[in-house]
Copies of this chain bind each other. A is one copy, B any other.
Amino acid sequence: MRVTIKDVAKIAHVSPSTVSRVIADNPKISDETKRKVYLAMEELNYHPNAIARSLANKSTKTLGLILPNTSEDLFTNPFFIQAMRGISVYSQKKGYYIMYNYSNNEEEEVEFIKKYINSKWVDGIILLTSRQNDKCISYLNDVGHPFVVIGRPEEPQNVLWVDNDNFKAMYDVVTYLAGKGHKSIGFIGGPHSLNVTKDRLEGYRNALNVRGLTIDNNLIREAYFSEISGYEVMKDILNYKEPEAVVTTDDLIAFGALKAIKEFAKKKIAVVGFNNTILAPYQSPALSSVDINAEKLGYHAAQLLIDKLEDKKFTCNNFIVNTQLIERESSE
């Protein structure tokens, strides 16, 4: 038969509640009693039943992780697996478990969140990416269930989130390129409706301003997150003029830009990508890219959420993770 708290109590000659207190490391148990209880546990090879504890405590010490719907990206972008690693590391440290699931679209994600919450499986939820007008976020806000988002949400006031400083990241990239003597620098961003694009564009603009470089709106373009789109947009830029450098907000876009440059540009054009995906070093030229530190993003997301669950009120509701430009041939 499975060994329970009662068996331990019997062997240790104490009551079940005392054993329970020892498990919870309650300070008002005498060392002598603790010793006896631990001995009994040892002897019986007792292990607390987490399910029973969860039921009595109304807390599972489990977090639910919502992975975004299928995207090409999911497999080529190390972001996901790295973030999952960071989440796991912090959670483990704090004795939390992680559940994950994939969904095929936003509706399914919301459905799964409902399942997690209604069935009382998880104490908190981690969203791996924030979209515009995110249904997951609004649902979670509505029901008031604890959650954290990786990526600053649209209304960041009462939401826990972690993100990079996208303004600064791009500001630094542009400053770096300007420092290399480049004066005409183009910008190819993802959809301008996204916060992340806006922030990076601002960083770009400010850096040019500070350096006294003119901002040419014809060099500021919008692309989809794909190689083909980056290619087309870059081709279009080249038709207008050949800049000395181009910054992009995603490696895929940069890959396309690189290709267009190879085919159509007359002189060398420096290119910098974002996310430092696995393929970046394998482009030719090898692509310089900004590493966003996905593992840290995950780690601090878990931290924010768990701290909140454990009611550490003094903590901030967001955390900024530093980025790092990885220099390769493409920006030499």
Nearest-Cβ distance from residue A231 to partner chain B, whole angstroms: 16
Q: Does A30 sit within 8 A of B, measured CB to CB?
A: no
The count of identical subunits is 2
Residues of B within 8 A of A50 (CB): 119-121
Residues of B within 8 A of A101 (CB): 88, 92, 97-98
Asked if B102 and A99 sit within 8 Å, CB to CB, the answer is no
0/1 string, A71-105, CB within 8 A of B gives 1: 00011101011101100110010000111111000
Given A76-B278, A279-B278, A121 and B102 touching (CB < 8 A)?
A: no
Say which residue of B51, B78, B89 sits within 8 Å of A60 (CB atoms). B51
Point out the residues of chain B lying under 8 angstroms from A89, CB to CB: 102
Cβ 8 A contact of A51, one of B48, B54, B97, B283: B54
When the two chains form their complex, are residues A81 and B88 in contact, meaning their CB atoms are under 8 A apart? no
Instruction: Tell me if B99 and A98 are in contact (CB < 8 A).
Output: yes
A278 cross-chain contacts in B, Cβ below 8 A: 75-76, 278-279
- Give Cα distance in the complex from A100 to B102, angstroms: 13
Q: Cα distance A320–B165 when bound, in Å?
A: 47
Residue of B nearest to A116 (CB): B97
A314 close to chain B: CB less than 8 A: no
Residues of B within 8 A of A121 (CB): 50-51, 97
Give 6 new A-B contacts, CB below 8 A, not counting A51-B51, A97-B101, A99-B100.
Answer: A75-B81, A75-B278, A80-B81, A98-B99, A100-B100, A279-B282
Can you name 15 A-B pairs with beta carbons within 8 Å? Answer: A47-B119, A50-B120, A50-B121, A74-B85, A75-B78, A75-B81, A75-B82, A80-B81, A84-B100, A97-B101, A97-B121, A98-B99, A100-B100, A278-B279, A279-B282
Ordered nearest first, which 8 A-B pairs have the shortest CB separation? A47-B118, A50-B119, A282-B282, A75-B78, A88-B102, A51-B54, A51-B55, A49-B120
